[in-house]
Amino acid sequence: MNSQKLDHHVPVSFSAVYRVRPGAEPSVPALLDDYVTAVRSAGHGTISVSAGVSEDGSRLAIAALHPSTQAAEAHLIAVSPFISRSFELAELESVIVLGTPGPLLEAALTANAEAGATVTTASCRKGFVAVPPSER
């Protein structure tokens, strides 16, 4: 995967697409609602989360933006119960990480690739996290 030195000031974005298992479609909206609520209340620095289901209900997608590798690692710890639930309802097809994964995310990406998911990582050559004027 990515063995570069961790950068504390470069954002990390993550997106994943899952194939929903037959019969699991009715359970997916509640999973996503619970996931987004948990991320919002966890307070680990996630900047944004988007989660949705395709029109036909066959795919679910999740995207998250973190201000740093450390925030992405904290996010992974906080959402681990939802990751387990998501694998009961859907199979991971692909994941893309832009930025430097920390050791937990690196291990998860390796496991996902070994399980057959397409895993893409790319280092972030340039990036920033906009800080509202009120927080400068």
Terminus-to-terminus CA distance in the chain, angstroms? Answer: 35
Closest to 77 measured CA to CA, from 51, 45, 118, 47: 45
- CATH topology (fold) of 12-129: Alpha-Beta Plaits (3.30.70)
Question: What pTM was computed for the model?
Answer: 0.83
Which pLDDT band holds residue 124 (cuts at 50, 70, 90)?
A: confident
Which pLDDT band holds residue 1 (cuts at 50, 70, 90)?
A: very low
The domain locations on the chain are 12-129
Q: Who has greater pLDDT, 98 or 6?
A: 98
Which residues are paired to 12 by β-bridges?
Answer: 66
CB 40 within 8 A of CB 64: no
What is the predicted pLDDT for the residue at 134?
Answer: 65
pLDDT, tens only, 46-68 = 899 999 999 999 999 999 999 88
pLDDT, tens only, 3-51 = 445 445 678 999 999 999 999 999 999 999 999 988 888 877 889 999 9
